[in-house]
Amino acid sequence: MLKVAIATTSPEKIAGVKMAVLRFFNLEEPEVEFNCMSTNSGVSDQPFGDETYEGAQNRVCGIREKFPKMDFYISCEAGIEKAFNQYFNVQVVCVLEEKSQSLFWGKSSGWSIPTKNIEIIKKSNLDTYLRGKGIHSIEELLGTSHSRRLAVAEATELAFASRRLG
């Protein structure tokens, strides 16, 4: 049986990680033991740039302390990255494989945030900004074919794919 600890209690993030693990390893849910618990990211509520990766790594280390002897420890941190003077919201996943003691990373595709609004987000956070625009869920922004669950699943599978290169 595969043993996985997930560093969140967010139902959407948990569903995304589970979807990715089951699909990537071609397993059924009874074949995997999932343990979930919220852990501290050690970064700001709205991480930018490298802080997003730092938060994901901190969460993975935190969950490892709570659930020893798992095969994989997985965390996800949402953050904002800058490229070409544009800002993008992404999900960053960090996977720690116990056997190899290696970290593997994946990142979801991202959606652009208008540069003129970044200072507003820095003063509060992305969720507050979106609510101010009348948007109360990611599906309202991106449509029903996109969700946090799917972004987390994408990033998780990409982290496992990078593991194959190690």
Model confidence pLDDT, tens digit, residues 23-53: 999 999 999 999 999 999 999 999 999 999 9
- Domain-located, residue 159: yes
Flag whether 83 is in a domain.
yes
The three-state secondary structure class of 60 is: helix
What confidence score (pLDDT) does residue 101 get?
96
The answer to whether residue 124 sits within a structural domain is no
Domains in the chain, number: 1
Residue 65: predicted pLDDT: 95
**Residue 113's pLDDT is what?**
94
Angle between helices 11-24 and 148-163 (to 10 degrees): 40
Is 55 a domain residue? yes
CATH number at residue 26: 3.90.950.10
Contact 81, 90 (CB under 8 A): yes
Predicted local confidence at residue 50, as pLDDT: 97
